[in-house]
Amino acid sequence: MNGHELSDAFQRILPEQPSAGGWAGRARRRSQHRRRMVGAAAVAVVVAFAIPMGLHLGAGPQVMTTPAPTATPQPEREGMPTPCQEAADKNFEGTDPVDGKLPEGATKLWLCGEAYPRLPYGGQLAFIGPQEALTVGVDEAVSAFNDLTWQEGAAIDCASSGEVYHLLVEYPDQKTQTLEGNFAPDGCQHFRMSSGIVEGADGYVATLQDLWEAQRESTDPVQLDVTMCPGYTSLFSMDPADLGHGHGCVLQRKTTAGGAGATMRSDDLPADLLTLVRDKVSSGGEPLSRFGAFSSDEQIVLLSPHNDPVTLSWGTWGRAAGLMWNNPERRVWYPDAAQAQRLDDYFAQLRRNPDAEPEPTLGPEDTGGLTPKVCADIRDGTLAPDQLPAGDRLPVGAERVWLCGDLNARFGGQLGLREPLVVDPDRVVDAINQLEPMPAREGDGCTEVGGVTYHLAIDYPDGRRRVISAETVNCRWVGGWGGRVGGDALLEAIAPMWTEQRATHLSSDLGEPRLCDGYPRSDTGEPRYPHTFLPVDRAEATSGALCGLPSDSTDFDGDVVQRWLPPALVTAIAEATPTPGAPEDMRLTAGLPSIVLLNAFGDPLVLAVGEGGVVYLGEEGGAWMPSGPLADEWQEALSGLRTTPFYVAPPECGGYDPATLTGDLSRVVGGLTCLGQFAVPAKGPDLEPAFATELARRFAAESTKATLNGWNTANFLVLTDADGKSTRLYWNGRNPAHLVDEMSERSWPIPGDVQRELERYGFDFTPE
C-alpha cells in the first residue's frame, strides 16, 4: 500500500458524519466547569492530580482535569438517586423550555447535583439533592421558576463561579424538562440555557427546600441502600441538629499496572465522635476561604433522617488540621490536641480494616528471569504443544492460563506475559472452543514462518496442563494443523484480559532478572535482547538495564555486560522527548549497547543506543541525550562499554549528507556500487562509465514521483557527474525492485536488462 492507495482507502471507508447537535453546549459547560475547578483550587488540584487515579475502578488511570462523561452509570455515583444518575449519564442533556418558562402540569421534580464522575473525595465539590422526588407542591416550584426573569439571547459573566445543579421536571406524558442552575455567589445565581438565561435565581433552591420539608412532614424517609462513601453534601442548607447519624470514610489509594486506583472504606461513626462533630458543626466553626483544596481522603459523612448529607473532610486547612465542610458555606473547626488525636486514631483504625484481603499479586513460577518456567519449558521442548483437532473441545474449569511467546525472534519476539491469567481464565478456553475449524486445503501448505507464533498453557485444578499453540499469520492455525483457524483474532481477543487483570492485580517483585543474555543471537552473532509481542509503553517503564559489550571487544563473541540503571535515569528515559539536534535516524548500531526497560509486570522494551551514547526512542522516533547531572550518570553507566560501532562504512559509501547529494543526472560520468547487508554497506566494484551514464539517463527519463516507503541503505549506487557531485540511487529493498532517489523522491522500476547488469556488479535483490 502506498500513500495514494491509503488516501483513497480513507475516503472510501468514511461513515456519515454524526450530528453535532449538543456538542457546543456540552463543550461550553465542561470548559466552564474545568475553569472553576482549576481557578478555585489550583494548589490542591495540582497536588491531588499529581498521581493519576483509577477512579473508575478497573478503567485505568485518568487525568481528571478534563472529566469525561461516560455512557453507563458509575459506582462513584452511589447514593445519587437513580433518575439523577441516568440523567447524569447523558450529561443532563435536554431541550430548553420555550421562552425560558416551564409548562404547567408537572407532576414530579428531582433536584440533582452535577453530571461528572465524582471525585473520590466528594465533600463540598460533589453536591446532591434529596433522595426522593418532589411530588407535592410541584406546581408551586414551577410557578416560582416561571416568576424568574427570562433574558433571551443573554449570556452571563459572574464575578465568581459557583456550583452547578440540575432540575428534572417530569410531566404526565413521560417528558422531562432538564434545567441547569448555578449557585454563583454575589447575586449571580441563574439558570443557563442555550438561548439565554433565567436570572434572579437567588433563593430558588431555598424555595425548593421549603417545599420538600413541607412534603416530608407527611412522608417517611427514603432508605439508603448504600453507604455514601465518598460523601456528598446536600444542596439544601442543613440544620446541624438534624444530622443524627453518620459514618467515616477513607480513600485507600493503591498503585497497579496502568496507574493508581482507589478503594473506599467506611464504618459507622462512634457515638462520641458523632456527638463531638455535630456539636462543632452546630457551633459554626470558622469561616474558610472558598478557594483552596476541596476535600481530603478522610471524611465524616453526617446524615439527616432523610439521608441529606453534610460531608466533613479531615485535613490541614489553613493554619492547622481541622474538619472542613461546605454547607451552607465553607467552614472549618480546629480541634484541640486530644480531639485531633481522637480523629487520627479513628481514621487509622478505619484504614486498618482487619477484614481486608492482602493485595493480590501475580508472578511466575520461579525462573530467576522474565520467563515463566512453563514458557521456558515450551521453548526448549520440554513441553510439547497439544494437537487440538477441530472436533475436540478444551474442558472448562481452568485455573489459570499462561501466554508464552515463541523462540523465533525474527517475527516479533520471544516473550509472552510473565503472569498467568487467573481472573476468569475460562474466557480463554471458550474463545478457543469457539474458533472455526480449519478449512480443508488439499495440496495447499502453509509455512510456519512469517509471523508471530504464541503458546497458551492452560492449567486445571487437578494438575492437568494443556498447551495450545497458535500463529497469527499464514494459515493462522490454533491447536496444530487440522485444528482451528483464527490465531490472530484469538490473540486480539485474549490479550486485553491480561490488561484488565493488571488493573486490580499487582505483579510480584521482578527482582533483577537476567536481561542481556540467554536469547538467540542474530545471523551475524549480534546479541539480541528480550522482546514481547505485546505493545509496551515506554512511559510505563519502572526499571531497566544497559546491555553492552566491553569496550575492548572486537567482535560479538564476548559476554555481554548487564548494568542496572539508577531509577532517575530510568524515569528520564521513560519520559524523554527527542532532544533537538540529536540524530533522528538510527545510525549503525552494531556492537553498541541496548537498554532493556521493564514495566511493573516485567514486559520488556528494547531501545538502541547510538554512537556517543545517544538513546533512540523506539517506534515513536527521535533520539535523546541526557543533560545536566543525568548526563554524568549516563556516562558512568556507559563507562567500560563499547560506544562505537564495529562497522564503519567506507567513505564512498558512508558519510550520508543530503547537502552533498546534488548531482546532475544528465551529466553523470561514472559511479560505483555499495553493497552489503543489514544496513552495513561496503564498497563494491566501480561502474563502467558508459553504463553509469546510460543508467542515469534512463532513471531521469523513466522514473516517476512517488511516496518512498523506505529503501535498503546497504545496497545503492553512487553516480558522479562532471563536477564531481553525487547522486545516490538506492535499491528499494524488495521486489519488484526499484531504484529510488530520496532527494528527488523519484522511483524507477528496474528494467530486466538493468537488473541483470547490476547483478553482474554484485547486487543481490533478495530481500533481507
Partner 1 sequence: MTERRIEAAAGFDEFVSDRGGALWWAAWLLTGDAHHAEDLVQTALTKMYGRYASCENDRHFEAQVRTTIYRTFVSWWRRKAWRSEVPTEVHPDAIGVVDDDPALREDLLRALATLPRMQRAVLVLRYFEDRPAQEVAQMLGIPVGTVTSHASRGLKAMRLSTHLSDTEVDS
Residues 289-328 that bind partner 1 (CB under 8 A): none
Site membership for partner 1, residue 4 (CB under 8 A): yes
Site membership for partner 1, residue 604 (CB under 8 A): no
- Piece in contact with partner 1 (CB under 8 A), picked from 19-27, 310-318, 369-377, 545-553: 19-27
Site membership for partner 1, residue 535 (CB under 8 A): yes
CB nearer partner 1, residue 431 or residue 561 = 431
Please check whether residue 246 is in contact with residue 302, taking contact to mean a CB–CB distance below 8 angstroms: yes
Query: In Å, what is the CA distance from 347 to each residue of 253, 383, 539?
Result: 14, 52, 35
Please check whether residue 457 is in contact with residue 383, taking contact to mean a CB–CB distance below 8 angstroms: yes
Distance CA 423, CA 657 (A): 55
CB nearer partner 1, residue 171 or residue 678 = 678
Site membership for partner 1, residue 47 (CB under 8 A): no
Helix (H, G, I), strand (E, B), or coil: what is residue 233?
Answer: strand
- Piece in contact with partner 1 (CB under 8 A), picked from 142-150, 154-162, 643-651, 719-727: 154-162
- Piece in contact with partner 1 (CB under 8 A), picked from 5-13, 159-167, 182-190, 275-283: 5-13
Helix (H, G, I), strand (E, B), or coil: what is residue 729?
Answer: strand
Per CB under 8 A, the list member of 156, 206, 568, 743 interacting with partner 1 is 156
Helix (H, G, I), strand (E, B), or coil: what is residue 671?
Answer: strand
Please check whether residue 309 is in contact with residue 247, taking contact to mean a CB–CB distance below 8 angstroms: no
- Piece in contact with partner 1 (CB under 8 A), picked from 13-21, 40-48, 75-83, 108-116: 13-21
Nearest distance, CB of residue 66 and partner 1, angstroms: 6
Q: What is the DSSP letter of 320?
A: E
Retrieve residue 38's grid coordinates. 482549576
Please check whether residue 384 is in contact with residue 467, taking contact to mean a CB–CB distance below 8 angstroms: yes
Which residue, 340, 445, 453, 457, is CA-closest to 400?
Answer: 457
Site membership for partner 1, residue 427 (CB under 8 A): no
Nearest distance, CB of residue 196 and partner 1, angstroms: 9
Distance CA 527, CA 511 (A): 23
Nearest distance, CB of residue 724 and partner 1, angstroms: 27
Site membership for partner 1, residue 584 (CB under 8 A): yes
Site membership for partner 1, residue 352 (CB under 8 A): no
Distance CA 78, CA 597 (A): 40
Site membership for partner 1, residue 8 (CB under 8 A): yes
The pair phi, psi for residue 183, each rounded to 5°, is: -90, 25
Distance of CA 584 to the CA centre of its chain: 26
Nearest distance, CB of residue 275 and partner 1, angstroms: 45
Distance CA 70, CA 90 (A): 8
Site membership for partner 1, residue 60 (CB under 8 A): yes
Q: What angle do CA 683, 688, 690 make, to 5 degrees?
A: 140
Per CB under 8 A, the list member of 100, 515, 585, 662 interacting with partner 1 is 585
Per CB under 8 A, the list member of 272, 537, 611, 723 interacting with partner 1 is 537
**692 to 731, contacts with partner 1 by CB under 8 A?**
707-710
| β-strand partners of 356 | none
CB nearer partner 1, residue 52 or residue 612 = 52
CB nearer partner 1, residue 224 or residue 661 = 661
Retrieve residue 160's grid coordinates. 465568581
> Could you tell me where the beta strands, DSSP code E, fall in 495-582?
506-507, 541-548, 561-564
Nearest distance, CB of residue 756 and partner 1, angstroms: 27
Nearest distance, CB of residue 763 and partner 1, angstroms: 22
Nearest distance, CB of residue 71 and partner 1, angstroms: 7
Site membership for partner 1, residue 246 (CB under 8 A): no
CB nearer partner 1, residue 68 or residue 241 = 68
Site membership for partner 1, residue 31 (CB under 8 A): yes
Q: What angle do CA 273, 278, 283 make, to 5 degrees?
A: 130
**253 to 282, contacts with partner 1 by CB under 8 A?**
258-259
Give the gyration radius of the chain's Cα atoms. 34
Query: In Å, what is the CA distance from 4 to each residue of 7, 8, 513, 705, 732?
Result: 5, 6, 47, 12, 18
Number of residues engaging partner 1 in binding (CB under 8 A): 73
CB nearer partner 1, residue 620 or residue 768 = 620
CB nearer partner 1, residue 6 or residue 226 = 6
Per CB under 8 A, the list member of 50, 155, 271, 659 interacting with partner 1 is 155
| β-strand partners of 165 | 181
- Piece in contact with partner 1 (CB under 8 A), picked from 153-161, 179-187, 413-421, 461-469: 153-161
Residue with cell 421562552: 99
Site membership for partner 1, residue 42 (CB under 8 A): no
Helix (H, G, I), strand (E, B), or coil: what is residue 668?
Answer: strand
Query: What region does 533 belong to: left with phi over 0, alpha with psi -120 to 50, or beta?
Result: alpha
Helix (H, G, I), strand (E, B), or coil: what is residue 134?
Answer: strand
Antiparallel, parallel or unpaired: β 127-128 and 233-234: parallel
Residue with cell 439558570: 191
Which residues, 6+ apart, have CB-to-CB distance to 561 below 8 Å? 516, 546, 547, 548, 549, 550, 640, 641
Per CB under 8 A, the list member of 207, 252, 499, 744 interacting with partner 1 is 499
- Piece in contact with partner 1 (CB under 8 A), picked from 286-294, 550-558, 565-573, 614-622: 614-622
Query: In Å, what is the CA distance from 312 to each residue of 131, 153, 332, 451, 690?
Result: 20, 40, 9, 59, 90
Helix (H, G, I), strand (E, B), or coil: what is residue 373?
Answer: helix
**619 to 678, contacts with partner 1 by CB under 8 A?**
619-622
Cβ burial of 474 (10 Å; 0-12, 13-18, 19+) is middle
Distance CA 577, CA 29 (A): 34
Site membership for partner 1, residue 35 (CB under 8 A): yes
Per CB under 8 A, the list member of 63, 348, 701, 743 interacting with partner 1 is 63
Site membership for partner 1, residue 424 (CB under 8 A): no
Residue with cell 449538543: 22
The pair phi, psi for residue 124, each rounded to 5°, is: -70, -15
**544 to 583, contacts with partner 1 by CB under 8 A?**
578, 580
Residues counted in the chain: 768
Helix (H, G, I), strand (E, B), or coil: what is residue 360?
Answer: coil
CB nearer partner 1, residue 21 or residue 381 = 21
CB nearer partner 1, residue 445 or residue 658 = 658
Nearest distance, CB of residue 8 and partner 1, angstroms: 6
Site membership for partner 1, residue 23 (CB under 8 A): yes
Cβ burial of 588 (10 Å; 0-12, 13-18, 19+) is buried
CB nearer partner 1, residue 194 or residue 522 = 194
- Write the binding mask 184 to 213 for partner 1: x where contact by CB under 8 A, - elsewhere: ----------x-------------------
Site membership for partner 1, residue 413 (CB under 8 A): no
Nearest distance, CB of residue 732 and partner 1, angstroms: 11
- Piece in contact with partner 1 (CB under 8 A), picked from 24-32, 368-376, 544-552, 720-728: 24-32
CB nearer partner 1, residue 194 or residue 382 = 194
CB nearer partner 1, residue 62 or residue 677 = 62
Helix (H, G, I), strand (E, B), or coil: what is residue 177?
Answer: strand
CB nearer partner 1, residue 74 or residue 472 = 472
Site membership for partner 1, residue 61 (CB under 8 A): yes
**438 to 497, contacts with partner 1 by CB under 8 A?**
451, 472-473, 488, 492, 495-496
Per CB under 8 A, the list member of 50, 71, 271, 338 interacting with partner 1 is 71
Nearest distance, CB of residue 476 and partner 1, angstroms: 8
Which residue, 473, 469, 430, is CA-closest to 449?
Answer: 473
